[in-house]
A and B are shown apart, each in its own frame.
Chain A
Amino acid sequence: MKLNKEMKFEIGRVYFAILGAVVLGIGIAEMLLGVTGRSFEWGIMEMSGEFLLWRGLILFFAGTFYLSSIQNFSDIHQLAKTVMASVMIWIIAGMKIFSMILESIPGGEEGGWFNTLEGFLASYSAPYIPSIFLLPFSLLVLYYIKLVESEEKMDGMKEESQPTGSGGDT
């Protein structure tokens, strides 16, 4: 079955409403834990570590962005908020993955120059922070970016002219 454009956006609307609520909830939980200085572990997920309060705050904002974008979801301004909410999750998750990689390489205080294979693998074991789990779910926004951009191209309109385009020094 081929979906028309309205239906695609309707699905996106419901999807990001649910995702937004989840992100908002996690954000609030992390902020509360951060303020009280506690941590929480649940199976392979943990809410702890450095900057917990800040990560919570950012997820709180991301959730708010998602939720505020679902009205008139197909409007470009609203979609922009969905994109930025996803980018905020990518920043947290991406930086966590980046630091996991860097931490896995050196040998540690007592060891040699480089890590042992076991130590290397152990640094990638669970538990993970919530943003890592949210990351794949936030990627759906890429589909909507493509959808909008392909439409922009189809219109065949002239490329933009920037404000500094009047013979500026930029």
Chain B
Amino acid sequence: MKILLMGNPNVGKSAIFNRLTGAKVIESNYPGTTVDYTRGYMRLDDEDVEVIDVPGTFSLEPKDVAEEVAVKILKENRDSVVVCIIDSTKLERGLYLALEIIEEGYPVVIALNMWDIAKEKSVWIDAKKLERVLGVPVVPTIAVSGEGIRELVSRIKEASPVDIERIVRNLEG
């Protein structure tokens, strides 16, 4: 099993990566491109699990090389759990990518990052309700202070693939 950190650019993905992985971080170049991505290891239930900080992307229909690499990394690691990092102030944009990944059949955990900034802007997201609707764990986080990171990790094992039709039904029901 691997853990892929995915999300739009500038959602604090690297900050979460730094909170999750140890000091030994491996910088790699994706073969045939100029795109770099980082890998590291984290401790999950007494096991070392590889974590990949996937380049930021807005969707799975790539618009540039970095996005292309992101999609390739996702496709190459079918047995991964995807931690989808969403900027809480830009929920819709982040959800778009999250839904696409869910549709691909990956188990997903959602981190509502930059929760403090959302608060500052008087945006409040009902994380519990979002969790019920999507059927995947949703955890508010603040990467700069570390709030919520531990909970995020503890809920990785709850992630399982969700059928998109169920989400549609959840919304209506």
Contacts and interface: CB of A to CB of B under 8 A. Distances in A.
B139 A168 contact: yes
B147 interface: yes
B90 interface: no
Interface string B143-165: 00001100100100000000000
Contacts of A112: none
A168 B106 CA distance: 23
Contacts, number: 33
Given A166-B131, A169-B154, A170-B151, A161 B124 contact: yes
B141 A166 contact: no
Interface in B112-131: 112, 115-116, 119, 124, 127-128, 131
A85 B131 CA distance: 41
B148 A163 contact: yes
Contacts of A164: 140, 147-148, 151
Contact of A168 (B115, B142, B151): B151
Given A168-B148, A168-B151, A163 B128 contact: no
B142 A163 contact: yes
Interface residues of A, number: 11
Interface string A135-170: 000000000000000000000000011111111111
Nearest to A167: B128
B138 interface: yes
A149 to B, nearest CB: 17
A169 B139 CA distance: 11
Interface residues of B, number: 17
Nearest to A158: B124
Given A168-B148, A168-B151, A170-B151, A163 B124 contact: no
A162 to B, nearest CB: 8
Interface in B72-129: 112, 115-116, 119, 124, 127-128
Pick from A165, A166, A167, A168 the residue with the most CB of B within 10 Å.
A166
A133 B148 CA distance: 42
7 interchain residue pairs of minimum CB distance: A166-B127, A163-B140, A168-B151, A163-B115, A163-B148, A163-B147, A166-B128
Interface of B: 112, 115-116, 119, 124, 127-128, 131, 138-142, 147-148, 151, 154
13 contacts: A163-B115, A163-B142, A163-B147, A163-B148, A164-B140, A164-B147, A164-B148, A165-B127, A165-B128, A167-B131, A168-B139, A168-B151, A169-B151
Given A166-B140, A168-B139, A169-B154, 14 more contacts: A160-B119, A162-B147, A163-B116, A163-B141, A163-B147, A163-B148, A164-B140, A165-B140, A166-B127, A166-B139, A167-B128, A168-B148, A168-B151, A169-B151
